[in-house]
Structure 1
């Protein structure tokens, strides 16, 4: 709520409250304080000091107005007067009630300091205490009064020791538990853990069960008061979860919770797989259940524990299949390597791809999973495949196919009209998600579409979506689609758009030599990450051999080598030794080099990954934020754009869509280092064209899968979006 509106509500509320209290006080009781016995004067002084502390405390947003101070002071006097004059309260009890008034003020003061209680709540709190005091002295219950209060006021009053013996105290505390759960619906069970005997426990447990059955499962299994309470709740869904929590294999049934509750599955149909969860049967049941859930979700339903099922499906995909086919990446025979997935259905292979995206090696997808999807189909059509899985995760599959250069092939396996409709859906509604992932996927995928008609369709759809967002004034959508429209249009043959100027980002067609130099030393520092497998040692030696000439000097250290230019621009290439990976010696050599660079205040501006894709995470985690050019020439490197740009915003990235090769990587390093040594800027279009004519045959095909910085559309989009947001802020 805007501050001005809040203030106006405060003024209106105060005027009404002041008028009510002043008129009631004049008619009902005196504000004058009777003579106070010396033995109780100190307690009255405590009350006065507490009120003064409130009066003088610096306001965080609004101070108590003069009227509010007047009302509060009047109410405090009424309370003190009532206590001293009351014939219902004996002398000992008068001490107790005076202490209660002071405790009320100190509790309010503490809550206000901690931002829990608005400053305007004081007059209301004091008047409510009067009512509660009267109710208590007459033998009544304060519970109905607490039910009507806000949470903070109810807590302050129920924690006031003067009311602790009230006959309605337990009911009042129960109402507080309900208020806490209403305010924090994601914390119902932690709240009940502290209050397991509350009267509303059963209904609150049922609410928690449907909100997060997995959390209920954990609490139900505990041998404590709340666990026992959950086990006693007479509700079919709670009883099902509670029953599973007491079995050692309950987690295996949990992904099918919705099906079990609705009676679509029986326990026995799952039990036969539970003893052997490595079986294809359990994985198949996960897949078929996920497909059913996908249809229900599209119809607006919300299957219970759907996230649990998807996570279990992902875990089993990786454990049972992906880890094995990845581990056999050096196996020459595809028959041997992909034996474990030979009998999987097209749907099951599809879910291997979408759930194992982050773990799967390029060759595992390109040579194994993808071709076997269609080989397992009687009628190998892409639209049939998507229908078989109820189009679940289809945008992710399109992204994966694009990342591995299989999108054109995938789209060619369906009718042209269906392919166009699919890609329209891929482009639509990008503003509706909270992350940029879908928009980046669209940008990346565009560069992998080689069919000119399909590229035109995607560009036109982006323009339609931009118009739609402009009409409804959706700012996020306007930014996303405007950036995509600009980036895609710049790739048109007749385009004269300079993306660097248009998007307000660093030049993407050129990387200036001076930009890569260290500001203090004037030296270009490059860092390569090598790994100690068999291939790593071969590639490392090939790297050194390319620099054994008059232009370069090689210096060997115990953990790394330094390759420095003798003439031209000062350049030093640091590369860790590819020591034995089985003992993590390669990781130790990398760490040793990083520590040395840090100690010498050397900041690498060029970072190069020289290992397989399964080492890439390690390189990215250790990559310095000073990187301005990053070469990810490994399998799957194209999918790591986001991670790299989070570490080194605006960095130019060279990546491979498919299997990176040592020959291509070394060729890139040779050209880049030589251009920099000669003092030239890295002009990507001309540099890329010169590289293209150096490779032929199989090497040329591999080079064509490398993406230069000016065509790395996902990276350009992320950089442009972040730049725009920084300017807006």
Structure 2
């Protein structure tokens, strides 16, 4: 006994003041229960000794807790309502509570209830248990973590209100995590609030409900049993093999705008134009409702299905026929589509569609199918759905001026104002990057002036409402746009704090370990790939270069001047994926030899571009995307190689221009020169003539890649802000 009193004497001391009266209030403790008291003391000591954190208890709180613990221990020992066996239980309960709090403390789970209040709540729960009352009302007053500590408490396990208490905790968890209602219910599907929570989850995420309803488990059975019209509709669909085909039309089925039969006739043949047309009509209806502030159920599901069908039924086919000389044959599958349907092919399939598929197929057929081929009429037909994306696509393929010319000047100006406005309202930079890219594709001086003016107005608005994100976005756009006017004499790299964009220093491209410029080319084993590869080698068969052939690649090294090595995988048979294997073999070799390519060149069609981007190294400082429409892959490239200079084509990439770029770049670097883009670009421009000159004009040099410049500048700014 003396040893225990001495321990208490030491533990309950704060700021040199001993809480002797607390120790004195502990009645004599029978030897058989002394260990349980020591457990409580040890756990409280651990709480006090835990390393300082933002959640560490204050000295005042610790003193209060010490007092409450002493009172609880005394109450348990002195109570005549509690027999000896039950006293073990309640002492263990005190320690369980402290252990639960400590566990949360250690895992950084902050309880919203102070430990002193939690101990008082335990005492109240103890009174309820001893008098046959329910702890459920008490649990409703506590935060989730604190309520869980008490409902998990050994001493309260048999309370008659335990089921209701746990139900209230589950409701609180769902309120705090409304997107995880069904995963939470999965652990307790029979809880009293299950019906109301399932109905709530149904409207928040009907697709998730569909998945859970189809499962042969207790939660799935519970969902199937609920008598609510919307839940019943989703449950019914989940039990059919074709339910997913109806799901995009869930909102209209629930509201009665569509009947099951009107969809069923297409479900058996979902590859038909009828199903695709129904998707388009429904999306157009949804677009109008979304603009009016409504939120159609499963709207995202419908859009994803529309995208999938666009690619599956049409885009894959017209892409596959890219070598077909007859447009009639190539575009036969889309010849009967309406302007609206063609519009959605473009906006949903932008990442998959080849340049020629859009420029020669989809775009002209949109307007040839209209009685009055006007752009504003087209946008009205689709309720202006995704119009910013369509503007971006037309700009990427040098069709923006043509698109805007198909409407009145005043309407075109209004459209572009809307295109520029509100860029700070989205969570991503996609819209802002689209505006930057599109500006570079506008050749009408009046329209460029309009866009710059609107950017300046939006900047003033964001400053006025103190929207920092908007201010940064519009300041960057204003600076970038203004820099394109030579008379403004704006040094973008100095102004934006980024690497020089008009020049790429020779030294910047050299490998730090060996002082060599390492270039890597990705070739592919189709018919064109073989031709382009041989043309590449022929250009380097001279006294300035040495060609070394390996089993999977070639090395082209400079004999004099700046040390340069161009590594290019062999364009082996693509049908057996040997070209991919040769790329992987070269990549492994470069990694093993610690060679870091600073220049990466894609030498293949646009449908191979994703593979190149996926494999390209983060060490790239200059990237040449030599395929059709490479301009659309800027974001993906910059995610891998931030700040890289990018050369790309908005339309058709050609071997003669790509090789011309490679020749000039490699020779300038071999001679020890920096890559000065404006001068280099002007010298190249005079080398091409006729159709080659037209195609060269569609190539975008690094200093005019406004979207890439914007992304680099924005990321640089954000990094500086966090430092």
Class of the TM-score when normalised by the shorter of the 2 chains: over 0.9
**In the aligned structure 1, how far is the partner of 2:526 from the partner of 2:439?**
35
Q: TM-score, normalised on structure 1?
A: 0.94
**In the aligned structure 1, how far is the partner of 2:111 from the partner of 2:240?**
49
**In the aligned structure 2, how far is the partner of 1:308 from the partner of 1:162?**
49
Distance 1:353 1:141, change over 3 A: same
The runs of 5 or more residues in structure 2 that have no matched partner are 1-18
Q: Which residue of 2 aligns with 1:239?
A: 232
Counterpart of 1:666 (choices 656, 659, 665) is 659
Distance 1:670 1:67, change over 3 A: closer
**In the aligned structure 2, how far is the partner of 1:682 from the partner of 1:59?**
55
Matched, 1:316 2:309: yes
**In the aligned structure 1, how far is the partner of 2:510 from the partner of 2:140?**
69
CA contact (8 A) 2:111 2:146 kept: no
Counterpart of 1:95 (choices 52, 69, 88) is 88
CA contact (8 A) 1:462 1:484 kept: yes
Matched, 1:166 2:159: yes
Q: Deviations over 1:416-438 (max 9, x none)?
A: 11100001111111111111111
CA contact (8 A) 2:266 2:275 kept: yes
* SS of equivalent to 2:313: helix
Q: Deviations over 1:402-455 (max 9, x none)?
A: 001110111111111110000111111111111111111111111111111111
Q: Deviations over 1:447-474 (max 9, x none)?
A: 1111111111111111111111122221
Counterpart of 2:141 (choices 144, 148, 153) is 148
* SS of equivalent to 1:494: helix
Query: Deviation of residue 675 (structure 1)?
Result: 1.5
Q: Which residue of 1 aligns with 2:273?
A: 280
Matched, 1:331 2:324: yes
Q: Which residue of 2 aligns with 1:134?
A: 127
* SS of equivalent to 1:285: helix
The runs of 5 or more residues in structure 1 that have no matched partner are 1-21
* SS of equivalent to 1:655: strand
Distance 1:35 1:104, change over 3 A: same
Q: Which residue of 1 aligns with 2:254?
A: 261
CA contact (8 A) 1:576 1:593 kept: yes
* SS of equivalent to 2:488: coil
Matched, 1:682 2:693: no
Query: Deviation of residue 479 (structure 1)?
Result: 1.2
**In the aligned structure 1, how far is the partner of 2:489 from the partner of 2:136?**
75
Matched, 1:394 2:387: yes
Counterpart of 1:466 (choices 459, 472, 476) is 459
Query: Deviation of residue 670 (structure 1)?
Result: 1.2
CA contact (8 A) 1:620 1:643 kept: yes
**In the aligned structure 2, how far is the partner of 1:511 from the partner of 1:543?**
23
**Superposition pairs of residues 531-546 of structure 1, within 5 angstroms:** 531-546=524-539
CA contact (8 A) 2:267 2:275 kept: yes
Q: Which residue of 2 aligns with 1:426?
A: 419
Matched, 1:452 2:477: no
Counterpart of 2:482 (choices 475, 478, 489) is 489
**In the aligned structure 1, how far is the partner of 2:335 from the partner of 2:28?**
96
Distance 1:31 1:284, change over 3 A: farther
**In the aligned structure 2, how far is the partner of 1:509 from the partner of 1:198?**
65
**In the aligned structure 2, how far is the partner of 1:450 from the partner of 1:55?**
71
Q: Which residue of 1 aligns with 2:9?
A: none
Q: Which residue of 1 aligns with 2:183?
A: 190
**Superposition pairs of residues 56-95 of structure 1, within 5 angstroms:** 56-95=49-88
Q: Which residue of 1 aligns with 2:8?
A: none
**In the aligned structure 2, how far is the partner of 1:68 from the partner of 1:714?**
55
Query: Deviation of residue 66 (structure 1)?
Result: 3.3
**In the aligned structure 2, how far is the partner of 1:660 from the partner of 1:532?**
17
Matched, 1:416 2:409: yes
**Superposition pairs of residues 542-621 of structure 1, within 5 angstroms:** 542-621=535-614
**Superposition pairs of residues 14-53 of structure 1, within 5 angstroms:** 32-53=25-46
Query: Deviation of residue 58 (structure 1)?
Result: 2.1
Matched, 1:343 2:345: no
CA contact (8 A) 1:64 1:119 kept: no
Matched, 1:530 2:523: yes
**In the aligned structure 2, how far is the partner of 1:498 from the partner of 1:700?**
29
Q: Which residue of 1 aligns with 2:705?
A: 712
Query: Deviation of residue 681 (structure 1)?
Result: 1.6
More divergent stretch after superposition (29-38 vs 304-313): 29-38
Query: Deviation of residue 493 (structure 1)?
Result: 4.4
CA contact (8 A) 2:181 2:197 kept: yes
Q: Which residue of 1 aligns with 2:715?
A: 722
Query: Deviation of residue 118 (structure 1)?
Result: 4.2
Query: Deviation of residue 117 (structure 1)?
Result: 3.6
Q: Which residue of 2 aligns with 1:646?
A: 639
Query: Deviation of residue 45 (structure 1)?
Result: 1.7
CA contact (8 A) 1:68 1:120 kept: no
Counterpart of 1:297 (choices 243, 265, 290) is 290
Query: Deviation of residue 602 (structure 1)?
Result: 1.5
**In the aligned structure 2, how far is the partner of 1:258 from the partner of 1:87?**
64
Query: Deviation of residue 509 (structure 1)?
Result: 1.3
Query: Deviation of residue 258 (structure 1)?
Result: 0.3
Query: Deviation of residue 475 (structure 1)?
Result: 1.2
CA contact (8 A) 1:540 1:578 kept: yes
Q: Deviations over 1:623-671 (max 9, x none)?
A: 1111111111211100111111121121111100001001111111111
**Superposition pairs of residues 435-446 of structure 1, within 5 angstroms:** 435-446=428-439
**In the aligned structure 2, how far is the partner of 1:165 from the partner of 1:572?**
77
CA contact (8 A) 1:532 1:581 kept: yes
CA contact (8 A) 2:112 2:146 kept: no
* SS of equivalent to 1:564: strand
* SS of equivalent to 1:630: strand
* SS of equivalent to 2:195: helix
Q: Which residue of 2 aligns with 1:5?
A: none
CA contact (8 A) 2:113 2:142 kept: no
Counterpart of 1:509 (choices 502, 509, 520) is 502
Q: Deviations over 1:62-88 (max 9, x none)?
A: 433333223222222222222222222
CA contact (8 A) 1:525 1:571 kept: yes
Counterpart of 2:116 (choices 119, 123, 131) is 123
CA contact (8 A) 1:317 1:356 kept: yes
Query: Deviation of residue 188 (structure 1)?
Result: 0.7
**Superposition pairs of residues 370-381 of structure 1, within 5 angstroms:** 370-381=363-374
CA contact (8 A) 1:528 1:573 kept: yes
Counterpart of 1:354 (choices 347, 350, 362) is 347
Distance 1:59 1:471, change over 3 A: same
Query: Deviation of residue 698 (structure 1)?
Result: 0.7
Counterpart of 2:511 (choices 514, 518, 522) is 518
**In the aligned structure 2, how far is the partner of 1:451 from the partner of 1:229?**
62
More divergent stretch after superposition (446-455 vs 596-605): 596-605
Q: Deviations over 1:463-501 (max 9, x none)?
A: 111111122221111111111111111112422112122
CA contact (8 A) 1:64 1:120 kept: no
**In the aligned structure 1, how far is the partner of 2:29 from the partner of 2:590?**
78
Q: TM-score, normalised on structure 2?
A: 0.95
Query: Deviation of residue 622 (structure 1)?
Result: 1.1
CA contact (8 A) 2:111 2:145 kept: no
CA contact (8 A) 2:113 2:146 kept: no
